[in-house]
Structures are given as C-alpha cells and as structure tokens.
C-alpha cells in the first residue's frame, strides 16, 4: 500500500470495536463471556482498532490477545496490582526512574488496543491517569534537571496513540536537552494501527538530533499486514532503529514453531530481536503463563533454528520493581527445592519468584 492509500488512523481508531455486543456479533465472544462483560470491562477496557479487526477475522487465533475472557476474573493470590513496581520508582507523576541512565516517560495510559495480558492494566485504559499539562511540565523538568538520564523511553499506554500535536512539543523539548542522547518508543501500533506511522511523524523523527529507537511489540507473525510493512519501511527510511518486543503467551506463541515464525517475521522486516518477556504477575493473567522451565527450554530450542541476532533475550521483570533480568544469567538461580531466586541488578536484593499459572 502506498502512502497515498494510507488509511486515516484517527478514523480507524474512532471506529474501533469497544463493546461486548459488537464482539458477540463478530463471533469473538460467547454468551457466557457476554454475560460477564460488564465486570470484564470494569476490570480492563476493550478496544480493537477497525483496521486490525480484519486481521483478527482473517486469523481467529489472534483473538486471545485482544478479546476479553472470563478467565481474567480469576485473580491468583500471587498476582499484583503493579507487578513491576513502577510506582516505587516514580519521582514525579509520569516518570519511572529505575536505572540511572534511562527513564520512562508515560504521557498517556491509552492504547490503540488493550492487550488482555497487559502488565500495566491497573492504570492503562483509565483516562484519569493521563498527564495534565502541569504534570507533563514537572516530568520534563525532572528529566532536564537529572543529567544522568541519557535515554528517555516513551511508554505508557501506547505513546503513539497520541496525536502529533501532543507528541511533537515533547520531542522538541527533549531534543534541546544536551544530556539526552537517545529517545526510545515502545509501541504496539505497528501491527494494530500501522496507519499511525505517517510521513509527518517520520519526518519529525528524522529531524531530531537524537538516536531514535522504536521497539515493535508483536506476539505472532500473523499480526503483520501489508500496512505494517509500509509503516516499517517509512520508519527505516527515516533512520529509526527497530527492535522487537514480545510476551511469551500460552496458546499464542508457546511452541518452537510459532516462536520461530515470530522471530523470522521480525528478521525479514529488518527488526532486531530484543525482548521476549516472561508474563508479569498482573491480575487475572495466569491463563497466559507457562512454567518458567518450559519457557527457558523453548527459547533454548531456537538456538539451532535461528541466527544469533534473531534470538530474543528471555526477560523476567522481578516483582516489586527490582529490575529486569535475563533468564539465562547469574541473576536467576534454581534452588535445591525447585524454587527460583532472582537477584536484582539494581540493589543485589534476592527475591523468591512465586508465579502461579493455570
């Protein structure tokens, strides 16, 4: 698809599937789920952009990631509101500053689609958490005055669910800060709403003096469309470096074949494999987790199937905000009584992992 044929992303988003009745009509949910849809929507909102609706209809196996399930109402004892401890490292609203050299900037908690396994579902989709003008100014002041920050990471929510009018002034301010050397976006938009990657956005990214990284969140090779490919080409032509980010999800990508196809789909698009997250202990997500041993075996099995640069790092976010660790490292150890101990890369504190899966 050429840029001239590109869909209007705001229109696609305004026509998103956001209610249980439409999902039932589309055959995405059964009566049982429909009857529980009020509780489900209150727990975590629903949204699938119009553009991506066709992708789910074409590949129904994608629906588990986006369509609510009554399993979300089963909350395990070990599950947490804020599983990765964002709040304990937040000096001002909108900023999470866990590691010295980089900080997260969360402008909005809205997304183009709401992934049912989301680790920030306690805030994501709730508009009341979006930053006010004063809060945004305070967040930017914090970055400006903290010279150790070399990289600003736009996350949220999905930063690219915001309009250019909201993002561009923030980019201009960061561009003027000499100590900030790179800007990174974590986004789901490349597959669920690729029309958001407009020429105007790419020109803006190209005009900045900083290195720009964009981390593409996708969990199945079936998510990519022709529109995704056009968007990826535009970004690459604008000098944006592309990395991958996926979540290892039961019944979505928990086989060697599916994971291999996913990594190949990144590779053939020039996206370097980066993170494969073991699912965090977000409330109502146990049906998405497989055992950690099994997860490690799966990733090991890719070693003979893919070149090294296409093998992602299996990552565990230690509950309580103790940081991310690679599963294959000295930071993770199995004890004699088959328990996992994770050592924080931030303060060396050891946490016993207590995942509860279905």
Sheet containing strand 211-217, edge to edge, reads 95-99, 102-106, 151-155, 182-187, 211-217, 241-247, 272-277, 313-318, 323-326
CA-closest candidate to residue 253, choices 223, 274, 226: 223
Least distance CB 189 / ligand SF4 (angstroms): 8
Q: Do the Cβ atoms of 106 and 130 come closer than 8 Å?
A: no
Q: What ranges make up the beta strands (E) of the chain?
A: 95-99, 102-106, 151-155, 182-187, 211-217, 241-247, 272-277, 313-318, 323-326, 332-334, 340-343, 350-353
231 vs 332 by CB, closer to ligand SF4: 231
157 binds ligand SF4 (CB under 6 A): yes
223 binds ligand SF4 (CB under 6 A): no
188 vs 260 by CB, closer to ligand SF4: 188
Q: Which of 158, 223, 227, 280 binds ligand SF4 (CB under 6 A)?
A: 158
Least distance CB 30 / ligand SF4 (angstroms): 23
Angle at 301 between CA 305 and CA 186, to 5 degrees: 80
219 vs 332 by CB, closer to ligand SF4: 219
Least distance CB 154 / ligand SF4 (angstroms): 12
DSSP collapsed to 3 states, 244-256? EEEECCCCCCCCH
118 binds ligand SF4 (CB under 6 A): yes
Q: Which of 20, 124, 180, 193 binds ligand SF4 (CB under 6 A)?
A: 124
Least distance CB 158 / ligand SF4 (angstroms): 5
Cβ-based burial of 253 (10 A; exposed 0-12, middle 13-18, buried ≥19): buried
114 binds ligand SF4 (CB under 6 A): yes
Q: Which of 120, 123, 221, 283 binds ligand SF4 (CB under 6 A)?
A: 120
Q: In the numeric block, which tokens belong to residue 113?
A: 């689609």
Least distance CB 156 / ligand SF4 (angstroms): 6
| Candidate ranges 9-17, 54-62, 76-84, 109-117; the one touching ligand SF4 (CB under 6 A) | 109-117
| Candidate ranges 152-160, 225-233, 260-268, 335-343; the one touching ligand SF4 (CB under 6 A) | 152-160
Task: List contacts with ligand SF4 (CB under 6 A).
Answer: 111, 114-115, 118, 120, 124, 156-158, 188
């Amino acid at each position: 698809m050429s840029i001239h044929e590109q869909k209007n992303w705001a229109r696609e988003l305004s026509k998103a599937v956001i209610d249980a009745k439409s999902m039932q009509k589309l055959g995405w949910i059964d009566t049982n789920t429909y009857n529980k849809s009020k509780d489900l929507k209150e727990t975590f909102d629903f949204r699938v952009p119009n553009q991506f609706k066709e992708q789910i209809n074409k590949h129904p196996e994608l629906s588990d990631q986006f369509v609510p399930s009554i399993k979300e109402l089963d909350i395990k004892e070990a599950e947490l509101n804020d599983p990765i401890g964002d709040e304990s490292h937040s000096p001002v609203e909108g900023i999470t500053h866990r590691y010295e050299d980089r900080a997260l900037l969360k402008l909005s908690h809205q997304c183009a689609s709401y992934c049912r396994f989301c680790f920030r579902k306690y805030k994501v989709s709730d508009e009341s958490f979006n930053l006010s003008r004063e809060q945004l100014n305070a967040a930017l002041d914090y970055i400006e005055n903290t010279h150790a920050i070399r990289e600003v990471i736009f996350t949220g929510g999905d930063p690219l669910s915001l309009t250019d009018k909201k993002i561009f002034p923030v980019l201009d301010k960061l561009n003027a800060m000499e100590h900030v050397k790179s800007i990174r976006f974590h986004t789901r938009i490349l597959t669920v709403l690729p029309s958001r990657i407009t020429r105007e956005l790419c020109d803006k990214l190209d005009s900045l003096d900083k290195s720009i990284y964009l981390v593409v969140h996708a969990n199945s090779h079936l998510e990519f469309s022709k529109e995704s490919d056009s968007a990826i080409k535009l970004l690459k032509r604008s000098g944006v470096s592309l990395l991958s980010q996926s979540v290892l999800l039961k019944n979505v990508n928990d086989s060697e074949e599916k994971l291999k196809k996913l990594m190949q789909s990144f590779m053939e698009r020039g996206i370097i494999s980066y993170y494969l997250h073991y699912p965090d202990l977000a409330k109502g997500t146990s049906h998405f987790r497989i055992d950690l041993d099994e997860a490690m075996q799966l990733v090991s099995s890719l070693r003979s199937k893919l070149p090294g640069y296409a093998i992602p790092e299996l990552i565990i976010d230690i509950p309580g905000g103790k940081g991310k660790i690679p599963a294959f490292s000295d930071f993770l150890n199995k004890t004699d009584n088959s328990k996992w101990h994770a050592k924080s890369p931030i303060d060396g504190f050891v946490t016993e992992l207590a995942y509860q899966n279905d």
